[in-house]
Amino acid sequence: MSMTRREMLQKCAAGFGNLALLSLFSEQGSTSDAISQPSAPPVPHFAPKAKRIIFLFMFGGPSAHDLFLHKPLLDRDDGKPNPIPEPRIVFARTGELMKSPWKVKQHGQSGA
């Protein structure tokens, strides 16, 4: 894929403009901390209450919707064979349905 100089300048025009603006601000000494330290986390508006956080990033893993919502039909069908037909190419045997090993508790006013 080749690109002419004109096409490259058209695609990168905003980037060059931002560089020029940053250069002008730094010469005037009016850069803020956000511009001079773009990777620094922003200051929160209030004091955070959380002491710890668990962040799960599973590339190709199940969604949070599938993991943390109560599924009464899955509880009912625990141990039964999978009703979905097997795919054409099978590398492993399709297992039985399995309910969540954790108990779901309702919290808050919404009952979620």
- For the segment 49-77, what is each residue's pLDDT rounded down to a tens digit? 888 888 877 777 777 777 777 888 988 99
High-pLDDT (> 90) share of the chain, %: 4
Is the full-model pTM beyond 0.85? Answer: no
- Residue 77 resides in a domain: yes
Domains of the chain: total: 2
Helices (H), 29-97: 33-36, 64-68, 72-76
- Residue 18 resides in a domain: yes
- Residue 111 resides in a domain: no
High-pLDDT (> 70) share of the chain, %: 81
How is residue 82 annotated by DSSP?
P
31 with 25: CB under 8 angstroms? yes
Domain that holds residue 5: 1-29
- Residue 75 resides in a domain: yes
- Residue 85 resides in a domain: yes
- Band (pLDDT 50/70/90 cuts) for residue 78 is very high
For residue 28, pLDDT over 80 is answered with no
- Residue 47 resides in a domain: no
What's the pLDDT score for residue 79?
92
What's the pLDDT score for residue 51?
87
CA distances 80 to 7, 57, 60, 94, Å, are: 60, 30, 26, 12
- Residue 84 resides in a domain: yes
- Residue 78 resides in a domain: yes
